Chain A
């Protein structure tokens, strides 16, 4: 079975500082990894994904994520946080040879302080 762990319920960062939201995964087969963002009372929006190739993936709104196979991690990063980045972030995984239905983590609330 595939699973995702987001170890932090909440991440606090000052505006202008770099941010990291952590995600680790467990799958059989090659992982396909995704990050989604959810603003209050809104649906999830796709940010970026890793399928294959370069371990550093760039996505929407200046976000990027680094795939680390040895650590089974896919942390979300941004060099300079904005107050408008405050939202709920979900990591998700599917796998080659497995279900195409992505499994989501429990989410991490990112709060960017002015």
Chain B
């Protein structure tokens, strides 16, 4: 079965550079979530989209922005990168915004900021 696809899997950037992460949800899933997981940390919710509109906002820095496109894929744009942005970034998708539904996670994109 098709899963959530994230690209790139690994990314190395310098401080103050920009980075873009992409996420392709499971077909027919209309809700996309972005999480940031620092080393040894639990996943922290950043932002979510439902039907191409921003749905919920978590601890996403102002330097970050995201959007969901007409084909439901999503991109997370990160600017003025800082060392502390080094983390594993997960995208997850679900069918609808349902409290009772599980999330389907991608493999993650590992960002290293030097």
Contact = CB atoms under 8 A, between A and B. Distances in A.
Contact of A49 (B33, B48, B92, B102): B102
A81 B71 CA distance: 42
Interface string A60-91: 00000000000000000000000000000010
Contact of B105 (A44, A95, A105): A44
Contact of B100 (A44, A51, A99): A51
Nearest to B107: A43
Contacts, number: 55
Interface string B10-36: 000000000000000000000001000
A42 B33 contact: no
Contacts of A106: 41-42
B95 to A, nearest CB: 12
B104 A46 contact: yes
Interface residues of A, number: 25
A105 B42 contact: yes
Contact of A104 (B42, B48, B98, B100): B42
Which of A34, A44, A107 has the most chain B CB atoms inside 10 A of its CB? A44
Contacts of A41: 107-108, 110
B45 interface: yes
Contacts of B100: 32, 49, 51, 94
Q: Please name the 8 residue pairs, one residue from A and one from B, whose CB atoms are nearest each other, closest first.
A: A43-B105, A46-B102, A106-B42, A94-B99, A44-B105, A100-B99, A100-B97, A104-B42
Interface of B: 4, 33, 41-43, 45, 48, 56, 58, 90, 92, 97-108, 110
